């Protein structure tokens, strides 16, 4: 392959990967903003989504898209449950306790996953994996294209939801000033519950969309969390636009680093990136404020 084709190939890979990262990060930034919480279990909802789609598609015999459509509200419900059981009781007890709770919940989810889906890694197989397109010498499967489109559609949908609907605005208000939101009549408790469910659903969607592209195992939850962290740090905590930009940047960074430098070291490079960002510009590209 010529260099320019190689570069294009990495761009395509990076962009399709990035679109999923965007989805993952947007959910994370949502839960961070509304709940002021570092949800360590966020990546595990991603893992859960992937496994649910696998179960619905392969074990229950549904098609791929119905499986995804079913997995999203399922993850939402599980997220809501997690909030009620593990996060809400700790509201107002400092920032540390809820974070520790999410750590425990992450372990719990991973243990349950090991129990319910034991053994080796799974792969979600879809008919789209077998159709390939070619553009300017670069090839990609139909699945990649669909994943990209779906991720973007969901992100756009979320954006409009937050900007145009009453509940969306209430969520934004809660993010910006929780007390004031309560005082104008927003039920901030419900907002927090909804936000966590929504962020879980988005993470689950991301997992379901990426499932056909990579193998899934319970360990991917933690990795997904780190990816979300990098994106949110890059783009700025609390900013959707930042998450979008950051997601694609990370996708491209990983694609290029993996393709041109050394694939094995990509995870380490990502972590080094986190530290660099935290040192140089913790608020990221579009960050509003430093979160306590």
Binding residues (CB under 8 A) for other proteins: these are 38, 85-86, 89-90, 93, 95-97, 99-101, 103-105, 107-108, 110-112, 114-115, 118, 166, 169-170, 172-173, 176-177, 179-189, 222, 226, 229, 233, 264-265, 267-268, 270-272, 274-275, 278-279, 282, 288, 290-292
- The CB-of-269 to other proteins minimum distance in angstroms stands at 9
Three-class HEC string of 116-145: HCCCCCECCCCHHHHCEEEECCEEEEHHHH
- If the CB atoms of residues 58 and 283 are measured against other proteins, the closer one turns out to be 283
- If the CB atoms of residues 133 and 265 are measured against other proteins, the closer one turns out to be 265
- The CB-of-254 to other proteins minimum distance in angstroms stands at 13
CA–CA separation, 268 and 261 (whole Å): 12
- The CB-of-218 to other proteins minimum distance in angstroms stands at 10
The residues, ordered by sequence, that sit 6+ positions from 179 with a Cβ below 8 Å of its Cβ are: none
- The CB-of-165 to other proteins minimum distance in angstroms stands at 12
Environment class of 8 (CB within 10 Å of its CB; exposed 0-12, middle 13-18, buried 19+): middle
Count of alpha carbons within 13 Å of 255, Cβ hemisphere only? 21
- If the CB atoms of residues 200 and 233 are measured against other proteins, the closer one turns out to be 233
- If the CB atoms of residues 38 and 151 are measured against other proteins, the closer one turns out to be 38
- The CB-of-267 to other proteins minimum distance in angstroms stands at 4
- The CB-of-104 to other proteins minimum distance in angstroms stands at 4
Q: How far does Cα 75 stand from its chain's mean position?
A: 12
Q: How far does Cα 218 stand from its chain's mean position?
A: 15
- If the CB atoms of residues 132 and 163 are measured against other proteins, the closer one turns out to be 163
- The CB-of-286 to other proteins minimum distance in angstroms stands at 11
- The CB-of-238 to other proteins minimum distance in angstroms stands at 9
Alpha helices in the chain (DSSP H): 3-35, 42-54, 64-82, 96-116, 142-164, 166-176, 178-183, 188-210, 220-235, 240-256, 266-280
Query: Phi/psi at 141 (nearest 5 deg)?
Result: -75, 160
Closest-CA residue to 75 (of 49, 98, 54)? 49
- If the CB atoms of residues 129 and 266 are measured against other proteins, the closer one turns out to be 266
- If the CB atoms of residues 114 and 131 are measured against other proteins, the closer one turns out to be 114
Q: Which residues pair with 216 in a beta bridge?
A: 122
- If the CB atoms of residues 68 and 228 are measured against other proteins, the closer one turns out to be 228
Joined together, the tokens standing for residue 80 give: 């809501």
Environment class of 101 (CB within 10 Å of its CB; exposed 0-12, middle 13-18, buried 19+): buried
For residues 229 and 46, the answer to whether their CB atoms sit within 8 Å is: no
């Amino acid at each position: 392959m010529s260099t320019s084709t190689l570069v294009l190939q990495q761009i395509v890979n990076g962009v399709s990967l990035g679109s999923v990262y965007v989805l993952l990060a947007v959910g994370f930034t949502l839960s961070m903003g509304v709940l002021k919480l570092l949800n360590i279990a966020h990546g595990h909802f991603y893992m859960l989504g992937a496994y649910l789609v696998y179960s619905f598609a392969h074990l229950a015999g549904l098609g791929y898209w119905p499986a995804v459509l079913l997995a999203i509200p399922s993850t939402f419900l599980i997220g809501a449950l997690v909030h009620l059981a593990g996060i809400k009781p700790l509201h107002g007890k400092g920032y540390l306790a809820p974070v520790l709770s999410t750590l425990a919940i992450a372990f719990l989810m991973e243990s349950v996953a090991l129990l319910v889906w034991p053994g080796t890694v799974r792969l979600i197989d879809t008919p789209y994996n077998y159709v390939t397109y070619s553009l300017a010498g670069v090839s990609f499967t139909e699945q990649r294209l669909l994943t990209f489109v779906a991720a973007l559609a969901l992100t756009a949908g979320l954006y409009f939801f937050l900007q145009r609907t009453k509940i969306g605005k209430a969520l934004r208000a809660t993010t910006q000033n929780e007390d004031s939101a309560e005082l104008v009549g927003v039920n901030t408790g419900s907002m927090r519950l909804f936000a966590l469910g929504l962020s879980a659903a988005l993470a689950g969607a991301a997992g379901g969309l990426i499932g056909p592209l990579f193998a899934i195992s319970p360990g991917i939850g933690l990795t997904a969390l780190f990816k979300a962290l990098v994106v949110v740090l890059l783009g700025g905590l609390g900013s959707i636009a930042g998450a979008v930009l950051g997601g694609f940047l990370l996708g491209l960074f990983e694609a290029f680093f993996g393709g041109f430098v050394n694939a094995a070291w990509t995870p380490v490079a990502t972590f080094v990136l986190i530290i660099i960002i935290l040192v140089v510009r913790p608020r990221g590209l579009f960050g509003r404020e430093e979160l306590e």
